[in-house]
Structure 1
Amino acid sequence: MRALPLCLLALMLTGCSLHKSPAPVKSRPLFSQPGSPVHSKPAPRPPQVAIYTDAADLVSKPFRDLGEVSGEDCQSSTQDSPANINTARKRMQIRASTMKANAVLLHKCEIVTTTSGCYRQAVCQGSALKTTK
């Protein structure tokens, strides 16, 4: 009777050793041509958007106002990283670049604590401008 469990154990161990896994398949990009080398490009950077803090700097430059833009950075709870004005300003620049603007006239940046859903929120507001050089 002792031989039966030993035989079953030996049978299970040999069954696992006979199992072969398939050879790993090399993955290829979905949209590349066969035989062409694959080069990864970095993501395109948005165009540079200048920030003007004083409207007097725009007196000598012709420009067109494209509309209001804003950027926010939210601190959800006290354990999260604090709301950052630089992040809010950068997000405002990115939104202006999607409007094909190359400059922003900054109206104000502030930290707000009365926003629902955020413990603290950094908000920057400005006007997106298309200036000619």
Structure 2
Amino acid sequence: MRVLSLCALALLLSGCSAFHDTPSSDAGRVARPQPKPTAPQKTAPRPAPVKIYTDAAELVSKPFRDLGEVAGEDCQTNTQDSPPNLATARKRLQIRASGMKANAVLLHKCEIITSAPGCYRQAVCQGSALKVSGQ
């Protein structure tokens, strides 16, 4: 009797698995909450463009205030890196001047130097950050 009941139980379990129907693509899914649309992220306001003056004579008729010295650099750490770029150094000079609330820079010099610590070669630009009125 025990053997018969064990066989019937085994047959019943195997029969249930044979007729197991796979759920349709929509019916068996667990409903996942959809992410709520978020408001677009506000980006930081772009700093005002900083004009570069290469000649002090351009500033003679304009009132301005000197905010201090600024510098920008671009470093080539070893011979396999891309060479230093003066345009990148100038752009970094403008970004630093903008951080000082300047709207202009009087460019003193831009050069590539080979004796910079930590750099194989380095592009360096130096200037004065200015707040020019009536630009």
TM-score, normalising length from structure 2? 0.71
Question: What is aligned with 2:127?
Answer: 126
Question: What is aligned with 1:94?
Answer: 95
Unaligned residue ranges in structure 1 (runs of 5+): 1-22, 29-34
Q: Which has the larger radius of gyration?
A: 2
Question: What is aligned with 2:82?
Answer: 81
Moved over 6 A (4+): 23-27
Whole-Å separation in 2 of the counterparts to 1:119 and 1:48 = 31
% same residue? 70
Unaligned residue ranges in structure 2 (runs of 5+): 1-29
The structure-2 alpha-carbon separation of the partners of 1:132 and 1:79, relative to structure 1 and needing over 3 Å to count, comes to same
Amino acid at match of 1:119: Y
Superposition CA RMSD, Å: 2.3
The structure-2 alpha-carbon separation of the partners of 1:36 and 1:92, relative to structure 1 and needing over 3 Å to count, comes to same
TM-score, normalising length from structure 1? 0.72
Instruction: Note the alpha carbon deviations across 1:6-61, whole angstroms, 9 max, x for none.
Output: xxxxxxxxxxxxxxxxx797796xxxxxx664213444322100000000000010
